[in-house]
Amino acid sequence: MIQDHYVIRVAIAGTGRMGQAIAASLEQQEDRELAGLWGRGDDLDALVASSDVVIDFSLPAGTRQVLDSVVRQGKPLVCGVSGLDDDLMDHLDRAASTVPVVYDRNMSLGVAVLERSVREAAASLGIDFSVAISEVHHIHKKDAPSGTALKLGEAVAAARGEEGTGSVEFSSERRGEVPGDHDVVMSSPTERLSFAHSVTTRQVFADGAIRAARWVVRQHRGRYTMGDVLFEN
């Protein structure tokens, strides 16, 4: 594990918009610096070896390679890639048995607070309240409901003793360039409780990933979430 005063070298897997946003943010950091970005055809092992932590915002196919590399090199990982299938999630869990891994479908700090809030509300209100989650994203996003909506639904269901997303209802909309809006509404015949989170720029995901990178280098092996980053000492 790394001491707090150490300058952390961060490798980024993925050269798309999120990778570029994280790289730009690192240029403004005093205690974190960019080790490099990995794209198709680049030497991943060499980049991982030169870093203290890896942030993965590539694609599921790339995530498999990243998981193998961080295990070989013994480096912590922050992974924000959505759409991982069961096989890749098992692969991620195996990697987390060797190195510390922060995996979350949404790196926003605000969403971590939202998840905790809806879990506590669902546990208190119980099944007498129906729960509906709506989400809006840009037209380029293919999966629906979003990973974040499913994550919130799972938190509600778990708090109420249900499997998966339980009885939570979902609605999705794709329009414009909306980075991501999520609304959770809990209703009874006599009252309604609403939670909302809106993203105005994808920079929030970059900021959350960088904060997670600073946190995970001080952890032991295991799988963590942004809730752990935000709420665990």
What is the distance between the alpha carbons of residues 233 and 225, in angstroms, rounded to a whole number? 13
Co-location of 16 and 99 in the same domain: yes
CATH number where 96 lies:
3.40.50.720
Reply yes or no on whether the pLDDT at 4 is more than 70. Answer: no
Co-location of 138 and 92 in the same domain: no
Co-location of 100 and 143 in the same domain: no
Q: What is the mean pLDDT of residues 135-164?
A: 94
Reply yes or no on whether the pLDDT at 64 is more than 90. Answer: yes
Annotated catalytic residue within 75, 137, 151, 182 = 137
Contact in structure between 230 and 107 (CB atoms under 8 Å): no
- Within a domain: 187: yes
Q: What is the mean pLDDT of residues 199-224?
A: 94
Split at pLDDT 50, 70, 90, the class of 143 is confident
pLDDT at 99: 98
- Within a domain: 3: no
pLDDT at 12: 96
Reply yes or no on whether the pLDDT at 91 is more than 80. Answer: yes
Co-location of 96 and 209 in the same domain: yes
pLDDT at 2: 54
Co-location of 40 and 62 in the same domain: yes
What is the distance between the alpha carbons of residues 76 and 213, in angstroms, rounded to a whole number? 8
Of residues 34 and 1, more confidence is placed in: 34
Co-location of 12 and 102 in the same domain: yes
- Within a domain: 1: no
- Within a domain: 2: no
Reply yes or no on whether the pLDDT at 8 is more than 60. Answer: yes
Split at pLDDT 50, 70, 90, the class of 17 is confident
Co-location of 92 and 121 in the same domain: no
- Within a domain: 227: yes
Co-location of 131 and 182 in the same domain: yes
Q: What percent of the chain clears pLDDT 90, i.e. is strictly above it? A: 81
Structural domain boundaries, residue 158: 109-199
Residue range 33-57, pLDDT digits in tens: 899 999 877 899 999 999 999 999 9
Co-location of 24 and 90 in the same domain: yes
pLDDT at 142: 81
Split at pLDDT 50, 70, 90, the class of 31 is confident
pLDDT at 42: 86
Reply yes or no on whether the pLDDT at 139 is more than 90. Answer: yes
- CB crowding 127-136: b at 16 or more within 10 Å, else e: eebebbbbbb
Co-location of 76 and 135 in the same domain: no
Residue range 113-128, pLDDT digits in tens: 999 999 999 999 999 9
Give the 3-state secondary structure of residue 19: helix
CATH number where 165 lies:
3.30.360.10
DSSP 93-157: HHHHTTSEEEE-S---HHHHHHHHHHHHHHHHHGGGSEEEEEEEE-TT---SS-HHHHHHHHHHH
Co-location of 103 and 208 in the same domain: yes
Annotated catalytic residue within 5, 138, 140, 141 = 141
Co-location of 39 and 147 in the same domain: no
Question: Is residue 137 flagged as an active site residue?
Answer: yes
Please state the domain count of the chain: 2
Split at pLDDT 50, 70, 90, the class of 83 is confident
